[in-house]
Amino acid sequence: MNVTLKEVFESGSWIITKIIQGSGKHRINAERRFPIADKSSFFCQWGSTKYLERLSSENYSKKLSDFNCYQY
């Protein structure tokens, strides 16, 4: 089963390491807090700005640009 952006934002088992701004999209890089056997510990996926802003505000109560790992 593939990991989704929603799972990365809602789960406590992922640490967001980098958020990169693109043209109308953002790329989210994350690592697992605790590795699981036979599953990838790394995550990287592009998502629409509107969707990611909503996930960020619902789960972290802040905008994407307020994350320390945000890059322009």
70 alpha-carbon distance from chain centroid: 11
Residue 1, pLDDT > 80, answer: no
Domain that holds residue 27: 5-71
Q: Residue 61 class from Cβ within 10 Å (0-12 exposed, 13-18 middle, 19+ buried)?
A: exposed
Q: How many domains does the chain have?
A: 1
Kindly report whether the global pTM for this prediction surpasses the value 0.75: yes
pLDDT for residue 20 = 96
Q: Please write the tens of the pLDDT for every residue from 24-52.
A: 899 999 999 999 999 999 999 999 999 99
Strands 42-48 and 25-32, by their bridges, are: antiparallel
Between the alpha carbon of residue 72 and those of residues 3, 23, 26, 66, the distances in Å are: 25, 11, 10, 12
Q: How far apart are CA 26 and CA 37, in angstroms?
A: 29
Residue 72, pLDDT > 90, answer: no
